Amino acid sequence: MKLFLIVLAAVLSTIEAYDDDGFFNIAHMCNNIQTLDWAVKQGANAIEADLQFDHLARPSRFYHGLPCDCNCMCNFYSTCKWFMSHTVCYPLSKKSNNCKAASRTDLWLRRAATKHSSKIALLWFDSKIKGNGYSDEKLRLAARNLIKLLTQLI
């Protein structure tokens, strides 16, 4: 609950700081630096990324894996090229398997903080914790570890 309140306070203060109506253009599944840069260049002011935690509840990498939204929307490459040219799936499909895009957490967070901090109003982490079950303690530990990492890097 405390983490939710911290995030809510950060979002509300950001909206006030930007003096707008709180509209977010959220770029989905930006799990490597290439897609982070691409999304901000396209005008995104909010970034969603899939943050993986290891078995000790430590943030380990940004990664989604298979299947992902790109598989569902891009069954045929030519259709994907035409229909999805303004989504993260298309630029990723040029260089690698888009569902396997990944980045170390420290590199991704430093890039967001140093190159894009004036353009990003919201970071949304879709947290994925490995292991058996999601005990309250494991979730709290993951939140503490994430806050510690963010404090160090941003």
Any domain includes 82? yes
Any domain includes 16? no
Any domain includes 90? yes
Q: Is the predicted pLDDT of residue 56 greater than 80, yes or no? A: yes
Single out the residue of 53, 49, 52, 54 nearest to residue 33, CA to CA. 49
pTM of the model: 0.75
pLDDT tens-digit series, residues 99-152: 788 999 999 999 999 999 999 999 999 988 776 667 888 889 999 999 999 999
pLDDT tens-digit series, residues 7-47: 444 544 554 445 556 678 898 889 999 989 999 998 999 99
Structural domains in the chain (count) = 1
Strands (DSSP E) found in the chain: 26-27, 46-53, 59-63, 102-104, 122-129
Residue type, 12: L
For the chain, the first-to-last Cα distance in angstroms comes to 22
How many percent of the chain have pLDDT more than 70? 68
